[in-house]
């Protein structure tokens, strides 16, 4: 039975957060310190994750995206990909990562059956990388990207968040680099999901600003038929590369949302911006059968709101930051 919410949206994409921990501290995501980490005991085990994923795949989930925090910090990540790859319905298995550990893990992940990679890279400048992520990680990230290309991942999508006064002059250099390396680049508008609750709409670099910056050098030709893709895609004329803009704030795409989320501590969330979630961890550990778990998931889905409501006067930012939800 398909996973349909109260607005008729069919859910096919499951984001699974493997951990809330990270080896970077991107300013739009995490504070430098003082984070309340989810304890080890609260993290779902590999077996618990597989059990929930199987239930959801039987109901129509077609893609499992592993995320976090930084999913590659989880020691059993390759084993998990292998186990997911054995699921009967053969969902696509993808990952969003900061790539810093891909130098070591890309080939094993590819061989284990990971099919798609989204890699976050906000700048090509070492000093700006340090300022943005509070770690000196540009070299590791770039070698992780190279290792992924070598391992055979295709296509690789690069995610970039532009921050005013820090890397907002990098839209074009990033696109030049993506074209040189034949990678798809997607800019994401900064969302109010930072742990510090410091998001300021006036500081956000909007879709329009990104489009204008790219248009100074390139002709962008819209690609139609977007479906549930959060990115508005453009062909970059004269190249084989596509560039996307994920305008979650200024041009929300909630009407076509097909995503459900499972946090690393076993909570089902129907939206990044949901203020309520449904616990699967305790029922899982108390011996609940699949039917009970399915009912919890379906009830959560039935309560999904029409939109994220960032523009509503009564908008409340979720307590969980992006790193603990799974982006
Ligand atoms: N650590 C991995 C990474 O950075 O790719 C996976 C988790 S991260 C939360 C997933 C994606 O969310 C990244 O592309 C990151 O840039 C994006 N992200 C994090 N905080 C964000 C925010 N406040 N607004 C928009 N995108 C954000
Ligand atoms: Fe870590 Fe990803 Fe958040 Fe950056 S965006 S701090 S890499 S979880």
Tens-place pLDDT, residues 130-174? 999 999 999 999 999 999 999 999 989 999 999 999 999 999 999
* Proportion of the chain above pLDDT 90, given as a percent: 87
Q: Each residue of 63-121: pLDDT tens digit? A: 999 999 999 999 999 999 999 999 999 999 999 999 999 999 999 999 999 999 999 99
Instruction: Determine the 3-state secondary structure of 124 from DSSP.
Output: coil
How far is it, in rounded angstroms, from Cα 265 to Cα 293?
15
How far is it, in rounded angstroms, from Cα 318 to Cα 250?
19
Hey, which of 19, 23, 24 would you mutate to test ligand 2's pocket, going by the most ligand atoms within 8 Å of its Cβ?
Answer: 24
Q: Does ligand 2 come within 6 angstroms of the Cβ of 30?
A: yes
Quote the pLDDT of residue 320: 86
Radius of gyration (C-alpha) of the chain in whole angstroms: 19
How far is it, in rounded angstroms, from Cα 231 to Cα 159?
11
pLDDT above 90 for 284: yes
Q: Each residue of 249-280: pLDDT tens digit? A: 999 999 999 999 999 999 999 999 999 999 99
The pair phi, psi for residue 109, each rounded to 5°, is: -65, -40
Q: Rounded to two decimals, what is the model's pTM?
A: 0.97
Q: Two tokens at 201? A: 């709409």
The pair phi, psi for residue 311, each rounded to 5°, is: -85, -5
Q: Does ligand 1 come within 6 angstroms of the Cβ of 175?
A: no
Q: Does ligand 1 come within 6 angstroms of the Cβ of 273?
A: no
Residue where the block lists tokens 């074009």: 172
Longest dimension (CA), the chain: 59
Per the rule left: phi > 0, alpha: psi between -120 and 50, beta: everything else, 159 is: beta
Which residue in 111, 145, 142 sits closest to 125, CA to CA?
A: 142
The CA-atom distances, in angstroms, between 172 and each of 149, 158, 201, 215, 243 are: 22, 14, 23, 9, 11
Residue 237's pLDDT band, with cuts at 50, 70 and 90, is very high
Residue 196's pLDDT band, with cuts at 50, 70 and 90, is confident
How far is it, in rounded angstroms, from Cα 241 to Cα 253?
23
Measured from the Cα of 98, ligand 2's closest atom is 7
Q: Does ligand 1 come within 6 angstroms of the Cβ of 17?
A: no
Residue pair 23/73 in contact by the 8 Å Cβ criterion? yes
Is 3-325 a domain of CATH 3.40.50.720? no
How far is it, in rounded angstroms, from Cα 273 to Cα 307?
9
Q: Two tokens at 93? A: 């298995």
Write down the domain spans for the chain. Answer: 3-325
| Angle at which helices 46-58 and 290-302 cross, to 10° | 70
Quote the pLDDT of residue 192: 92
What separation in Å is there between the alpha carbon of 75 and the centre of ligand 1? 21
How far is it, in rounded angstroms, from Cα 10 to Cα 260?
10
* Proportion of the chain above pLDDT 70, given as a percent: 100
Hey, which of 244, 322, 324, 325 would you mutate to test ligand 1's pocket, going by the most ligand atoms within 8 Å of its Cβ?
Answer: 322
- Average predicted confidence (pLDDT) for the chain: 96
Q: Tell me the mean pLDDT in the region 20-40.
A: 93
Helix H or strand E encompassing 173: helix 171-180
What separation in Å is there between the alpha carbon of 30 and the centre of ligand 2? 7
How far is it, in rounded angstroms, from Cα 271 to Cα 266?
15
Measured from the Cα of 22, ligand 1's closest atom is 1
């Amino acid at each position: 039975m398909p996973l349909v919410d109260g607005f008729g949206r069919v859910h096919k994409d499951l984001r699974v957060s493997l951990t809330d921990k990270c080896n970077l501290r991107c300013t739009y995501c995490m504070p430098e310190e003082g984070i309340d980490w989810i304890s080890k005991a609260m993290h779902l085990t590999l077996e618990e994750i597989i059990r929930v994923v199987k239930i959801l795949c039987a109901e129509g989930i077609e893609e499992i995206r592993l995320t976090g925090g930084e999913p590659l910090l989880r020691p059993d990540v390759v084993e998990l990909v292998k186990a997911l790859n054995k699921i009967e319905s053969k969902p696509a298995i993808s990952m969003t990562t900061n790539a810093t550990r891909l130098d070591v893990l890309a080939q094993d992940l590819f061989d284990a059956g990971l099919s798609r990679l989204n890699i976050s890279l906000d700048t090509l400048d070492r000093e700006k990388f340090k300022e943005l992520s509070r770690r000196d990680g540009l070299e590791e990230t770039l070698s992780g990207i190279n290792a992924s290309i070598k391992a055979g991942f295709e296509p690789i999508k690069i995610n970039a968040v532009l921050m005013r006064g820090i890397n907002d002059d990098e839209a074009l250099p990033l696109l030049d680099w993506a074209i040189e390396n034949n990678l798809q680049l997607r800019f994401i508008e900064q969302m109010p999901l930072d742990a510090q609750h410091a998001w300021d709409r006036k500081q956000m670099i909007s879709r329009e600003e990104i489009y204008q910056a790219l248009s100074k050098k390139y002709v962008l030709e819209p690609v139609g038929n977007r479906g549930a893709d959060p990115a508005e895609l453009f062909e970059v004329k004269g190249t084989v590369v596509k560039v996307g803009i994920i305008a979650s704030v200024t041009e929300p795409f909630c009407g076509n949302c097909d995503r459900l989320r499972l946090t690393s501590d076993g909570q089902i969330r129907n939206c990044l911006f949901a203020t309520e979630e449904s616990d699967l961890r305790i029922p899982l550990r108390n011996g609940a059968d699949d039917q009970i778990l399915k009912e919890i998931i379906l009830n959560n889905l039935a309560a999904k709101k029409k939109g994220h409501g960032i523009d509503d006067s009564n908008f409340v930012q979720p307590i969980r930051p992006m790193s603990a939800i799974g982006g």
